Structure 1
Amino acid sequence: MTFSSPKNIISVTCILLFHQEKVLVAQRSLEMDLPLLWEFPGGKVEKGETEEVCIVREIREELGIEIGVVERLEAFDHNYNDRKIIRLIPLLGYWVKGEISLLEHSQVTWLAQTQLSEVEWAPADLPIVKQLERYWNNYHEKVLNFQNNH
């Protein structure tokens, strides 16, 4: 009888960052795994760190800007290989201050809802893209309402 080793689940946050009716997306650099594919920026949750603290830290480290978090959305698991699962945790957010600097990615752009299918996405991000397409107006409204009330 053979037993397969348990898969390693890695929690990774990403931000659906709304600004002027568009969402920020980043293209992975040539030095990264899955080079030149597009993703929602974010990174791994460190031990003892909340998802909200993680995404604020990651965006500061990767893009040099400050963001605010509105809420956590449904997470999706993606099998990258037989031993690693990425649990991608999207959070809704907004730009607080700062100027974007490309500290890890090759480029960033702002996409409208109708442009989401125009880039080649990293596989783990695809379920989030589908959710965003479906709930765009709801997500955008939540961000605007949060900003107006805080």
Structure 2
Amino acid sequence: MSDKNLHVAAAIIVRDGKVLAARRSDGAEGWELPGGKIEPSETAEDACRREVREELALELGVLWPYTTVRHTDPKLDLAMDVFCAPIPADAEPQMLEHQELRWLGRDELLSVDWLPADLEVARSLGIAWSDVFDSMHM
């Protein structure tokens, strides 16, 4: 893929019925689901686990495929594979690459200024919340 084409993996990290939103500390505007670029030798699942480990010092267990989002703007063609990742109640994410973290319930999903691709996921998750979490026993 060229610099304009980017393939990333992201995690909908779930704990106690809430989803983790992260705001990066590298100057990027907006909130995101944790994750990042898929390296050539990685699967999307491997990249998701690695990025969450690097960004939040969390070890993810089961990853449930949620969706793949495609976002295009003049600077970027993005494909983002998104996974749901439940974590134990006592797991505490560390802010290794973020300036702020928030746990958001269903009614709070649109209370932050998401990056465009992440906004699409947040909107769909808000609509399908019960179906998603009931089917994954979360």
Match for 1:54 among 47, 52, 55? Answer: 47
TM-score normalised by the chain length of structure 1:
0.82
Structure 1: gaps of 5 or more residues: 1-5, 146-150
The answer on 1:94 being equivalent to 2:89 is no
Match of residue 3 from structure 1: none
Match of residue 33 from structure 1: 28
Match for 1:136 among 108, 113, 129? Answer: 129
Query: Which amino acid in structure 1 is aligned with residue 95 of structure 2?
Result: L
Q: Deviations over 1:15-51 (max 9, x none)?
A: 111110111110122x2332xx111111111112011
Distance 1:139 1:68 in 2: 17
1:7 positional shift: 8.2
Distance 1:62 1:7 in 2: 22
Q: Deviations over 1:61-117 (max 9, x none)?
A: 0000111233212211112424x2111111011115743211111011110000011
Larger radius of gyration: 1
Structure 1 counterpart SS, 2:61: strand
The answer on 1:45 being equivalent to 2:41 is no
Whether the 8 Å CA contact 1:56–1:66 is kept in 2: the answer is: yes
CA-based RMSD:
1.9
